[in-house]
Amino acid sequence: MSILFRNARLVDPEAGTEEVGTLTVRDGRIIGRDLPGENAQTVVECGGKCLAPGIVDLGVKVSEPGERHKESFRSAGLAAARGGVTTIVTRPDTDTAIDTPEVLEFVARRAAADAVVNVRPMAALTKGRAGREMVEIGFLRDAGAVAFTDCDRVIGDTKVFSRALAYAAGLGALVIAHPQDPGLSQGACVTGGKFGALMGLPGVSAMAERMALDRDLALVEMTGARYHADQITSARALPPLERAKRNGLDVTAGIGIHHLTLNELDIGDFRTFFKLKPPLRSESDRLAMVEAVASGLIDVICSMHTPQDEESKRLPFEEAASGAVGLETLLPAAMRLVHSGHIDMPTLWRALSLNPARRLGLDAGRLSAGAPADLVLFDPDAPFVLDRFALASKSKNTPFDGARMEGRVLGTWVAGNRVHQA
């Protein structure tokens, strides 16, 4: 089957360009640009809207197995398609944790049967994410794990973590860590400072992120491991990250879209949809993170999609569960960075699609000939007011409920097959 996308603003993160043209797809692969399209079986008139590689969302929680009422592969796949996400990289912080080849194979089967987008699972780094005993990294990698992480459970035992890094390095496996000192951050729900103190909530200094990152980078230097920090959210953590990259360590870093578009003042009315992990930072930290993404110091933007049911959020702020859904709001929230003039479209798509695909070794994130036809067509200027109850996710815990947003997905294709049409 052949498809011709006509009159599209082609956003190419690999070439760093944004230009009007046509794109031809055949048998699920991109053939090229500005080719004769008279024989195309399907013509998609883009009307000058943006056509870009589908988003590769690194760090999505799908609550299977264990908590399917929060999010299933079917609901997550539909939400991803509606948000222009063509590949979701799932976290292993399920109940039970994805820490054996058998559980990983179950997840892969469910994903293949139920999700309309690509699903690439990560596995836990330690058994039960308990930080005591390393998983069988080699077997899990053979079973399809694209990376290894204990998610927001920091491995406090430095010897255990260093051994896991060394073993992963020998296999060339990617380790993803959550830099946050567990002692300092225990029990905290806001960033430490005057604002948190005035609200009467327990806080943690942003230095807790810096301290944990310093430790991790020292162990990476010692072991030669491939390392990715899942969320760098404070300006204090940027100097060691920059130094590690300058010294040639195999290190990358990511950030969730909520930390790029919201700040600590947003929790002022104690709305638990704004309770995240790590907590929202100051405006100066947020701006520093936006600049770090624009410069390429921070490589990846993700949704950090974390579904929570109503019961776990309808609690006092200190007791409520952390996290927010983000698959459908990732693209319109990211448009805020473009409309504010902080980031251009190719740079944004490098962080949303090309860089996560490259880091995980996935064939995605490109518009070049031969690349899979995983595409999103969107209007970056279309305004709307978000209604959380209209989201495809089973859980509706979004901090953007009622917010005015810009950027609407018009269509999503996976391997040339249309999986969403507005």
Q: What local confidence, expressed as pLDDT, does residue 37 receive?
A: 63
Residue 316 has pLDDT above 80, yes or no: yes
Residue 350 has pLDDT above 90, yes or no: yes
Q: What local confidence, expressed as pLDDT, does residue 149 receive?
A: 98
Cis amide leading into 65 (omega within 30)? yes
pLDDT in tens, 217-249: 999 999 999 999 999 999 999 999 999 999 999
State residue 190 phi and psi, 5-degree precision: -140, 165
Q: What local confidence, expressed as pLDDT, does residue 283 receive?
A: 97
Mean pLDDT of 375-392: 97
Q: Residue 225 corresponds to which amino acid?
A: A
pLDDT in tens, 119-160: 999 999 999 999 999 999 999 999 999 999 999 999 999 999
Question: Environment class of residue 265 by beta-carbon count within 10 Å: exposed (0-12), middle (13-18) or buried (19+)?
Answer: exposed
Q: What local confidence, expressed as pLDDT, does residue 35 receive?
A: 82
> Would you place residue 196 in the very low, low, confident or very high pLDDT band (cuts 50, 70, 90)?
confident
Residue 108 has pLDDT above 90, yes or no: yes
Residue 342 has pLDDT above 80, yes or no: yes
Q: What is the DSSP letter of 125?
A: S
Which pTM does this prediction carry?
Answer: 0.96
Report the C-alpha gap between 409 and 96 in whole angstroms.
34
Residue 399 has pLDDT above 90, yes or no: yes
| 397-421 residues labelled b (16+ CB within 10 A) or e (exposed) | bbbbbebebbbbbbbbbbebebbbe
Q: Are 124 and 135 in contact (CB under 8 A)?
A: yes
Q: What local confidence, expressed as pLDDT, does residue 1 receive?
A: 83
The two three-digit tokens of residue 318, written as one number: 């200190």
Mean pLDDT of 395-407: 97
pLDDT in tens, 38-78: 678 899 999 999 999 999 999 999 999 999 999 999 999 99
Q: Are 288 and 235 in contact (CB under 8 A)?
A: yes
For helices 238-246 and 207-223, the axis angle rounded to 10 degrees is: 20
> Would you place residue 34 in the very low, low, confident or very high pLDDT band (cuts 50, 70, 90)?
confident
Q: What local confidence, expressed as pLDDT, does residue 38 receive?
A: 65
Nearest to 181 by CA among 159, 160, 205: 205
Whole-number percent of the chain with pLDDT over 90: 95
Nearest to 301 by CA among 353, 365, 227: 353
Q: What local confidence, expressed as pLDDT, does residue 40 receive?
A: 81
Fold of 54-360: TIM Barrel (3.20.20)
Cross-strand partners of 23: 5, 33
